[in-house]
Amino acid sequence: MITVKGKHLDSLKIYADALRFDDPATHLPDFGPFDAVRRLIVGAHQAFMDDDTAYRLALSVYFKFALKLNPEMSCPVTTEKMLRGQTDALVQAFKTEIESLPRSYQLRFELPMVQTLGSYRIELSETVALVGGTQHGFDSIPVGFDDVREAQWRGLAAASAAGKIPAVSTYIEVSAIGYTDASTGSALAAKAISAAKQAVFLLRGEGLFMRSGTKLKARLTMYDASRGVSRTVPAPSGFDGIFGKVGLQRHDLRMQQAPAAGLFGESEARLATTDAEVVKTLKFRTDSVRRFFSLADTEEAQSIGAAIEWYLDAETGENETLAYLSCCIGLEAILGDHSVGKDRDLVSTSRLIDRYAFLLGKNHEARRRLRKEYDDILTARGDLVHGRAFRLPAEHRLKLHTVRGMLWRVIWHEYQSLLVASPPGARD
């Protein structure tokens, strides 16, 4: 734990005294007196703090302090008058906040389409878990449902809130240590969202989750364990398309039986029927996901993770042009040459095409076909990037489905290759 004193305390006093509630210029990140405060916050917490998060922290403290003095916030001039003479108290608020870090958080990504299976927790990594059965609220509202079904859903939520039925939910929980405000813009929140998105993608790829034709409103909540405070956080764009559109692939969850007695003693698989059997099967079949997350600090896993995010952005985006470009960027992220450091973006188009062809092609004819496939995709990309087309032309719209499929196959190939190259216990 750090203690703010000496010149650092002086910088807080200068900043607090210079702030003006009725002057927005003093609230900006390039406001002169804030520079020393920024360096103090980032320097004290380098492991998880960056310039933008430091700025968010300072403004959050300031506006919370002002809100306590003037809860109505009726007039900036009035609030400023109330703040005058409160400099010492404001400095103490800044000091207390900075010294309280780091904090422990749990960000919870609701999966409203996933069937509840009682109370369970499946660890996917040291910080990521699939959780079910917790009293976590159940107020997701369907998107695109007719009035009758929405009324039924709202009635269910009201009954849950009244305690008439158990308030259960299924969600992905990501634990993090550091600092974040009530938005998803901080580095900590962005990293947690990335981990949750990768978890959903991999659970789909492993055949445990499936993407549904129905989309529900999914919530994102943030629990500050250091303070015992939980709040709902405004979800980023595309959130419902990722977390509110996946359901449990229950009809394909098979569990291994004990080896049968007899000459060969082969084990048989049967469909998991009870909730307990489904949970047991999920735990068993998420082993590959756990192994991937254990390799998260490797360059290969980071490239796969980046490509997964580009894929999901393309899948949930409403703009076809941006979706197409996202898939192209995802392919370049995962096929790029990681041996050339900062110059890997300079890898030629022909080398990317060759890597794609040799990665997936089993023979000469297959590689020839794959080369042409990728070349066609990059031609359309070039037209968009270089201004020859401002939107995806009608003749290229089918290529959006093609490039999505290409990116999925490359991601899954590289994911499985990474697991084969890093068998269990290899890093112990």
Sequential pLDDT tens for the chain (428 residues): 789 999 999 999 999 999 999 999 999 999 999 999 999 999 999 988 999 999 999 999 999 999 999 888 778 899 999 999 999 999 999 999 999 999 999 899 999 899 888 889 999 999 999 998 754 433 334 344 455 555 655 565 565 555 554 455 799 999 999 998 878 888 899 999 999 999 999 999 999 999 988 898 898 988 888 777 778 888 888 999 999 999 998 887 887 665 554 445 555 678 888 888 999 999 999 999 999 999 999 999 999 999 999 999 999 988 888 999 999 999 999 998 655 554 444 457 888 999 999 999 999 999 999 999 999 998 888 877 776 656 676 767 788 999 999 999 999 999 999 999 988 766 55
Beta bridge pairs of residue 233 = 220
Instruction: Round to whole Å and give the CA distance between 173 and 236.
Output: 17
Give the number of other Cβ atoms within 10 Å of residue 273's Cβ: 11
362, 285 contact by CB (below 8 A):
no
Give the position of tokens 């099967």. Answer: 281
3-state secondary structure 121-175: EEECCCCEEEEECCCCCCCCCEECCCHHHHHHHHHHHHHHHCCCCCCCCEEEEEE
The CA angle 225-226-229, to the nearest 5 degrees, is 60
DSSP result, 332-377: HHHHS-TTSGGGGGG--HHHHHHHHHHHH-SSHHHHHHHHHHHHHH
> Are the C-beta atoms of residues 50 and 31 closer than 8 Å to each other?
no
Closest CA to 178 of 137, 136, 224: 224
Q: Which two tokens stand for residue 158?
A: 């009201």
Predicted TM-score (pTM) of the model is 0.82
